[in-house]
Amino acid sequence: MAKPIIALLTNNDDDVYCFRKELIEELIAEGYEMLISCPDGPKFELMKEIPYIYDNPEIDRRGTNPVKDFGLFMHYRKLFKKHHPAVVLTYTAKPNVYASIAAHKMGIPVINNLTGLGSVVNESGLKQKFIMWLFKKAYQKSACMMFQNSTNMQLAINQGMVKGDYKLIPGSGVNTDRYPLQPYPNGGDGKVGAPIVFNYIGRVLKDKRVDDYIAAAKRIKQKYPQTEFNILGFIELTERHYEVELEQLKADNVIIYRGSQKDVRPFIARAHCIIHPSTYGEGMSNVLLESASSGRFLITTNNPGCKETLEDGKTGYIYQGGNVDALVEAIEHFLALPNETRQKMGEAGRERVKALFSREFVVEAYKEKIKELLKK
């Protein structure tokens, strides 16, 4: 008897390897065959030991070309006709929309994972209305919607996107073994003593408020010369102007651009604090969860998907997103803390992540729902 095929569709290899690998391995161990549809990338080199069927779609992640998007829909339709998956799991915007519509037309149950409404929540007018219409068409017939934060869940319900089952899960969860508690580095107050290291980890994107991080770094460096500000992440094709700006900031001894890293753990280990200034439509920030799991102090915004990752004043600081003055104030409060206090707050953050955001919770939620769907 042929094994049931579970199709997993997303738009980048990081998402597969960093956040779905444990789910893939668990489903294979349960007796399913996995079909992974995702544009090729270097992280697949790290998955050679895992048996799966591979599909390499062409996805323009941030583009709005209707011809290309229709082509993606047709690609998924042909893929499902060829492999006949028993259940389809979708992640990220375009697979969520176009794979869902294709699967619905063929009667294949879909479990969507809403990893944030992205920049859509910041749009207005006809563009937002059209995208919301697409979301409704994609999601209303879904077998289950997995939401990563309660704000997105309530918005989707209020907008009429949800007609079937839905669950609130703790983001993508974090593998606390892969991100163990790291020894906390020595540090002074930013003026004297060992340098204090701050990291921004994520795509270099205006919507992620990287400009706020840059502006805050400029101000802090003037007053606190014993600080180091790093940026780690991929520069989107639409954001190439940052390449020149970051070169100049490095020359001015303000920010060091570390590029896109296959493994951010060594950079988290040498940092004292992770700053995530996003006001983007996050699902649940993986960067913050991984950093907290490593025992690092967090500074982030009151944005949904960010604020849930810490307890304000106990494992980090939350500030009003988009307010650079508030970010600078939070950084100065952090610099005023004794290094031992920073360490203890980071350790409290790890305990919180272990209790609330373990990846095991997410994997079990998927396994249970898939079993339920295949019994019908």
Nearest alpha carbon to residue 343 among 202, 199, 196: 196
The predicted-structure confidence for 190-200, as pLDDT tens digits, reads as follows: 999 999 999 99
Q: What is the pLDDT of residue 64?
A: 76
Same structural domain, 338 and 368: no
Determine whether 241 is exposed, middle or buried from the number of CB atoms within 10 Å of its CB (0-12, 13-18, 19+): exposed
Q: Evaluate whether 308 touches 288 at the Cβ level (below 8 Å).
A: no
Residues 248 and 304 both lie in one domain? yes
Q: Are residues 166 and 231 in the same domain?
A: no
Do 260 and 335 lie in a common domain? yes
Task: Give the domain CATH number at 114.
Answer: 3.40.50.2000
**pLDDT in 10s for each residue of the chain, 376 residues:** 789 999 999 999 999 999 999 999 999 999 999 999 999 999 999 999 999 999 999 998 877 788 999 999 999 999 999 999 999 999 998 999 999 999 999 999 999 998 766 556 556 678 778 888 889 999 999 999 999 999 889 888 988 899 999 999 999 999 999 999 999 999 999 999 999 999 999 999 998 999 999 999 999 999 999 999 999 999 988 899 999 999 999 999 999 999 999 899 999 999 999 999 999 877 899 999 999 999 999 999 999 999 999 999 999 999 999 999 999 999 999 999 999 999 999 999 999 999 999 999 999 999 999 999 999 7
Residue 350: domain span: 196-356
Same structural domain, 363 and 350: no
Whether residues 200 and 333 share a domain: the answer is yes
Residue 119's pLDDT is 56
Q: Do 163 and 287 sit in the same domain of this protein?
A: no
Same domain, 38 and 98: yes
36/150 same-domain check: yes
Distance CA 8, CA 132 (A): 23
pLDDT at 129: 81
148 and 48 inside one domain: yes
Same-domain pairing of 148 and 165: yes
- pLDDT value, residue 116: 67
**CB atoms closer than 10 angstroms to residue 297:** 28
208 domain-assigned: yes
How would you list the strands of the sheet with 227-232, edge to edge? 256-259, 227-232, 196-201, 273-276, 297-301, 316-319
- The confidence score (pLDDT) of residue 326 equals 98
Q: Provide the token pair at 199.
A: 């990291």
pLDDT score of 311: 98
Number of domains in the chain: 2
Residue 366 shares a structural domain with residue 337: no
Q: Does residue 185 fall inside a structural domain?
A: no
